[in-house]
Structure 1
Amino acid sequence: MVRSKAQGEEAEWEIASNEADVVSKTEKIFVEDAFRQTEVPSWKKQITLRAMVTSLILSLVFNFIVCKLNLTTGVIPSLNVAAGLLGFALVKGWTKTLSKVGLLKQPFTRQENTVIQTCVVASSGIAFSSGTASYMLGMSPFVASQADSGNMPENVKKLSVGWMMGFLFVVSFVGLFSIVPLRKIMILKYKLTYPSGTATAYLINSFHTPKGAKLAKKQVAVLFKSFVFSFLFACFQWFFTAVDGCGFSQFPTFGIQAYDNRFYFDFSSTYVGVGMICPYMVNVSLLIGAIISWGIMWPMIESKKGIWYSADVSASSLHGIQGYRVFIAIAMMLGDGLYHVLFMLTTTIRSLIAKSSSKKDSSVVTPDITDQDAQIANYDEQRRTEYFLKDQIPNKVAISCYIALAVISIITVPFLFHQLKWYHILVAYIIAPVLAFCNAYGCGLTDWSLASNYGKFCIIIFSSWVGLEHGGVIAGLASCGVMMSIVSTASDLMQDFKTGYLTLSSPRSMFFSQVAGTAMGCFLTPLVFWFFYKAYPIGDPEGTYPAPYGLLYRGIALLGVEGINSLPKNCLSLVIGFFIAGILINLIQELLKRFETRFGIYRFIPSPMCMAIPFYLGGYFAIDMCVGSLILFLWERKNKQRATDFAPAVASGLICGESLWSVPAAILALVNVNPPICMKFLSASVNAKVDKFLEG
């Protein structure tokens, strides 16, 4: 489930890391020739007890990280580098210790490393696609109270660990079987690249060659140092946050007025790390979106208070300024999503037609490769194909399991959500395999997974189908979960098959490690979310964990059941404008990419999806991420190779350290242990009033 792709707004464009560089640099390295003398273990020996234990430990860690990111801004970077590195470090350290005392029975192989990485990212993938910070949270009474309209018993569902965990277990495994019968066509016949899966495979292969292992050990050491710094700095900041609005995270970097419009650097090492992993234009797009919205649009609209919307509505009401923020952001996301869905479907159909109408010439040899190199490359391909075709999962078994799990889901989901009827779920499961194929195929071509785009469109379709009076809001949000889980896990599994193909990992071991990781995610994700949910006011726009996508997803459902009636005055014109803008920006970028080759201007066109995120949240996290980009840029100017080798490790450490501090911080909050100091910033005039009051 590598995410260097446009995968769901929270992480939907989850974010191309420096892994992509690995592929281009190592394409001509004939990997299997280097491992010619290394025995490949059977699939049962690839899934070891130590691999599962390591995966469980790392899954818990990564679930906390992803949950925290989901609940803050929803921007989630690719954590595959960290998963691969930490998996390598833990098991390598364990096997080295056993080897010294003469108890090592099975050496650590790249296949086992692949199993760990697959299992961990599958688990953290559930943390992303589970909807605990989006469609599930959008059902809660607290988020519903912010939306005003549609806030009735039929359209609200109280969150609990029991039904959340049950729902995930019912719907999350179906997608794994929807795409299995097509694995040979995707990997061997069409030879789809799956760039992130390929990059991950090269990364793991490099870990297990002598030179790569040395570099991996250095990367792990750098990651650990970065982790310790981030953890201790987050601990230090905690002491100054006695009440809301206190601490370094509220530092008015650019002045009080800019701070009031959510422009400040909040000293978050997490998002500095995220910024180091994201492409430069992602971070710039976020900053542009923040400037357009909080710097220009919202102050102008707020000046119309009492004219465009009632001056009496609360700041969080969708009938006030919050409505403009939410619905305009939704419009831009839907415009971007519609463009990419249509583009992906067109690309898929054209590619399939081209492949079916043309005969492949398997005798073609790249001109700059010698005959000897060609033989080695051919050996690589033959060896990979041989192991990929071993231990296959029978198509009959896969299809039977899909039907059986779909039947279970059709029966069970209406009990969890009475607003959905069995025929709604049946329709979803009939459509899902087609969308799963399109998503997996498109992901293989472009590295984009559009899972949450399909989910958002499902919200509109099913919520309008059911209707407001019959619980259309809940029906739409629940159907989003059904569709997202199928489409997302299908493309993730095919990525894993590609990684397994390039590391000689058995397809069976890849499948079962994906199943194990999915099970871990279904169990851990609700528990981790509940940990935060009980410790903090989740979904509060002004709180520590605003969870922006809860209200955004509910807003999409309200659009489905109420249409334009739910929009404030003049909001419709702005919504239409930004919806069209989301399509046009992508179209301009694509046209420039195809026809303008001299300057590469298309590289400087901002992403509408990225621009839309700060419309609701503000610019503080975009500034953090731009600081991360600046650090990476200066590092690359000084020593590009060292930055390429170690920047992902530094970024992963920054993300892991601060994210894991949230665990002891939440525990302290649960036992009512509060920070001792409140560090607050006041304007000079307010400070003078406070001094005068204290003197009096």
Structure 2
Amino acid sequence: MDHNSSSTINNRKPESSHEEEENADHSKEILTVLEEKDHEATSSESSVEKIFESKEVPPWQKQLTLRAFLVSFVLSILFTFIVMKLNLTTGIIPSLNVSAGLLGFFFLKVWSKFMEKSGILGQPFTRQENTVIQTCVVASSGIAFSGGFGSYLFGMSETIAKKATEANDSQNIKNPALTWMIGFLFVVSFLGLFSVVPLRKIMIIDFKLTYPSGTATAHLINSFHTPQGAKLAKKQVRTLGKFFSFSFLWGFFQWFFTAGDGCGFVEFPTFGLKAYQNRFYFDFSATYVGVGMICPYLINISLLVGAILSWGIMWPLIEKRKGDWYSATLSPSSLHGIQGYRVFIAIAVILGDGLYNFVKVLGRTLLGLYQQIRDKNSGSVLPVGSSPSPSNTPAVSYDDELRTRHFLKDKIPTWVAVSGYLVLAIISAATLPHIFHPLKWYYVIVMYIFAPTLAFCNAYGCGLTDWNLASTYGKLAIFLIGAWAGASHGGVLAGLAACGVMMNIVSTASDLSQDFKTGYMTLASPRSMFVSQVVGTAIGCVVSPCVFWIFYKAFPDLGTLGSQYPAPYATVYRGIAILGVEGFSSLPNHCLTLCYVFFIAAVVINGLRDVVGPKWAKYIPIPMAMAIPFFLGPYFTIDMCVGSLILFIWETLDKAKADAFGPAVASGLICGDGIWTLPSSILALVGVKPPICMKFLSRKTNVRVDAFLGN
């Protein structure tokens, strides 16, 4: 979305906000802290597995319990609502693995104690079962992201298409419907799992890839099942519960004052009315205060810098050119007007950042593969770091020997993976053209020929750097398949559909590789990891479309600029598809020049961050994060910076307590406000409206309103 019970790690789906690099560094820093904490907690014990030596490892069938999947199903619904809300508001999705791990541990502990008090001797709750829950929940809620409900899938809709005059004909539009969304996800979401299964031993045992997120998740689960970790986890769950309740009740309280457009606390002009017009205000969102507490400081500062650069400087200057650079009669949401500059300049930054990181990670992947194959051929071991000569090869530790034995014990036959991939590929090639008519069967076949290689590259690169480049591969598919289909044959819709196919394959491949690493370190069987991922994916293929459908039906203005759920990335992805098919003719005057400047700037800034090294890079903003407020506005960045400020002050006063309980507080704020969307959606569906509209007016406007009402 992965760490010890006192920290948080990077999101496994980094596309939507803080993309790859900062999260990778953040995960590695946290991993170091985790190892230090584990060292302290075990009183200088050198072996983690010796702590669990007295506990029998259950066979893989017993790791997959009914209670684990029941808990996973409940948590999947909760987290899907949270991810969906974040998808449709700003697209910034933090890691929710902490919450999944904590709540999974809590529910199973309560279940076990209840069964004991009832006189029923149930199966002991093990770390392997905890791993199954974590894997299942993250796989399920991850579909809410990779399913494209806030990006490529919703970008196909008429709501998003009518914002532009290009490619808004019927052959480039596909409105959401439960049947085809569920069918599409079932067809494309499992291929990535089968593509990476044959390579699990190479990734985990031979190449010894780090997978910081998967390793940190294992530390989290291992720590929960020690006496000290269980005690801390219970305290963290209580803290999460308190802030969950506060956040839920705060969302409920705010609802009473939102009876019309522009009403409620979310419209409070914190910095004055002029700043409010440029979207600089604090909107009292518990969700984004919590997100700000989880995201690294540099992400939040980068967002703020991007907000000031765009809404504080650039857009006011461009708006002064109205009537010169673009027509003064266009609607504010038209891509030929000011909104076109906001969207396409943001796209230029996103593409520049994505291309740089793609080339960088691909280069590291190829270099790493070359070095490891060379070292293997020379007879040495295959660590990621230095390669000692055979004569001084270090002895394998007790932990590694035990983990390797368990990891290799329950093999997944290669023929199962290969045949599963081929069967699903044939079904997909036959099915997808019926769902998306411009997406021809041979486009699908070509993608599936190259997909395993790309899935391997993404999974391998993720193991080295913790960067998931699924979104970059998806954007690449938009351009290639969209251009192949052509503007006159539904190229925009074909490109967006191809994006979904490619994103799902390469994203699930890296996710499963992370899970294999987690299972390796918790002695969970690869078979249980694979089955858990499959079950979680299947749950997500049903739950995510249903949750999106609730939003789609409850909020008629979904995807509209300035609405409660503007779905900004849907506009961006459709803009990318239009750009790939229609070319640059769709851009407003001088927009192309500005796009070139910002594309180059994104590449240069990323290069500068690498040149100066980690010590100084933490002071240089991240282009991807800077681009997000370009079209959405700064209001959520204010919330996130408030979250960062709270955490900074807390760490200054009591760093140990902030490390231990900060993630729980943040998760509680996110979960409470996120789950409030369920009752608020139900109220909207049944036609129950809030009783009060609270608005904030200038003195002059208030005088005019009073005069009007007096008449």
State the 1:510 CA deviation.
0.1
CA separation of 1:161 and 1:363: change in aligned 2, threshold 3 A: closer
Q: Deviation at 1:13?
A: 2.0
| Correspondence for 1:683 | 698
What residue in structure 1 maps to residue 596 of structure 2? 576
Pairing 1:520-669 to 2, within 5 Å after superposition: 520-536=539-555, 537-593=557-613, 600-669=615-684
List aligned pairs for 1:6-25, cutoff 5 A: 7-11=13-17, 13=19, 15=23, 16=26, 20=31, 22-25=33-36
Query: Where in structure 2 are there 5+ consecutive unaligned residues?
Result: 3-8, 40-45, 386-392
Counterpart amino acid of residue 451 in structure 1:
A
How many residue pairs get aligned? The number is 683
1:282 match:
299
In structure 2, C-alpha distance between the alignment counterparts of 1:504 and 1:82, rounded to whole Å: 22
Match of 2:113 among 74, 77, 96: 96
Offset at 1:430? 1.1
Match of 1:322 among 333, 339, 358: 339
Structure 2 residue 421 is matched with structure 1 residue 415: no
Hey, what's the Cα distance between the residues in 1 that align with 2:379 and 2:350?
A: 39
Contact 1:54 1:116 in 2 (8 A): yes
The answer (yes or no) to whether the contact 1:46–1:112 under 8 Å persists in 2 is: yes
Aligned to 1:369: none
1:4 to 10, 35, 54: 10
Alpha-carbon deviation of 1:391? 1.1
Deviation at 1:133, TM superposition (A): 1.2
The alpha-carbon deviation at position 241 of structure 1 amounts to 0.4
1:370 corresponds to: none
2:210 matched residue in structure 1: 193
Does 2:296 align with 1:296?
Answer: no
Counterpart residue number, 2:5: none
- Measured in 2, the distance between the counterparts of 1:486 and 1:19 equals 28
What is the rounded CA distance, in whole Å, between the counterparts of 2:34 and 2:197 in structure 1? 25
Whole-angstrom CA distance in 2 between matches of 1:256 and 1:363: 61
Counterpart CA distance in 2 for 1:240 and 1:305 is: 36
**TM-score when scaled to structure 2?**
0.94
Task: Determine the C-alpha separation between the residues in 1 that align with 2:696 and 2:371.
Answer: 62
1:488 maps to which of 507, 512, 523: 507
Runs of at least 5 residues in structure 1 that lack an aligned partner in the other structure: 367-373
In the TM superposition, residue 27 of structure 1 has moved relative to its aligned partner by 6.3
Residues in 2 aligned to 1:254 and 1:360: alpha-carbon distance in whole angstroms: 65
Matched, 1:153 2:164: no
Please point out which of 422, 441, 445 is paired with 2:464: 445
Query: How far does the alpha carbon of each residue in 1:397-434 deviate from its partner, in whole angstroms, 9 at most, with x for none?
Result: 11111111111101110111110111100111111111
Tell me the SS of whatever aligns to 2:15: coil
Query: Are residue 435 (structure 1) and residue 454 (structure 2) matched?
Result: yes
The corresponding residue for 2:356 is 339
* Superimposed CA distance per residue, residues 522-579 of structure 1 (whole angstroms, 9 cap, x where no aligned partner): 0100000000000012101110000001111000000011110010000000011111
**What residue in structure 1 maps to residue 517 of structure 2?**
498
Q: Which residues of 2 match residues 219-234 of structure 1 at below 5 A?
A: 219-234=236-251
Q: After superposition, give the CA deviation of every residue in 1:478-529 in whole Å (9 maximum; x if it has no partner).
A: 0000000000000000000000000000000000000000000001000000
State the Cα distance separating 1:159 from its structure 2 match: 1.3
Quote the Cα distance in structure 2 between the aligned partners of 1:344 and 1:68.
30
Q: Distance in 2 between matches of 1:70 and 1:601?
A: 32
Q: Which one-letter code corresponds to 1:663 in the other structure?
A: L
Q: Output aligned runs, 1:94-243, within 5 Å.
A: 94-243=111-260
Q: CA deviation at 1:244?
A: 1.5
Mapped partners of 2:616, 2:381: distance in 1? 36
Secondary structure of residue in 2 paired with 1:531:
helix
1:511-526 → structure 2 map (5 Å cutoff): 511-526=530-545
Identity in percent: 62
Q: Counterparts of 2:620 and 2:12 in 1: how far apart (Å)? A: 16
List per-residue Cα deviations over 1:303-354 (Å, max 9, x = no partner): 0000000111111110000100010000100000000100011000111111
- Could you list the per-position Cα deviations for residues 578-628 of structure 1 after superposition, in whole angstroms to 9, with x for gaps in the alignment? 1111111110001111xxx7xx21111111110000001000001100001
Pairs within 5 Å for 1:34-53 = 34-53=51-70
Alignment partner of 2:210: what SS? coil
Deviation at 1:355, TM superposition (A): 1.3
> By how many angstroms is 1:30 displaced?
2.0
2:580 maps to amino acid:
G
Deviations 1:217-240 (A, max 9, x none): 000000000100000011111111
The aligned amino acid for 2:360 is F
**What amino acid is aligned across from residue 497 of structure 2 in structure 1?**
A
For residues 35 and 124 of structure 1, what CA distance do their matches in structure 2 show?
30
Amino acid at match of 1:470: H
- Deviation of 1:357 after TM superposition, in Å, equals 1.9
> What is residue 371 of structure 1 aligned with on the other side?
none
Decide which moves more: 260-269 or 429-438.
429-438
Are the aligned partners of 2:285 and 2:639 in contact in 1 as well (CA < 8 Å)?
yes
C-alpha deviation, 1:256, in angstroms: 0.4
Mapping 1:468-479, distance limit 5 Å: 468-479=487-498
Query: Corresponding residue for 2:96?
Result: 79
Give the match's secondary structure for 2:93: coil
Q: CA deviation at 1:9?
A: 3.0
Structure 1 SS opposite 2:431? helix
Q: Is the 8 A contact 1:6 1:12 kept in 2?
A: no
Shift of 1:102: 2.1
Q: Which moved more, 1:456-465 or 1:354-363?
A: 354-363
Superposed CA offset, 1:642-681 (max 9, x none): 1111111110000000011111111111111111111101
Classify the secondary structure of the residue corresponding to 1:419. coil
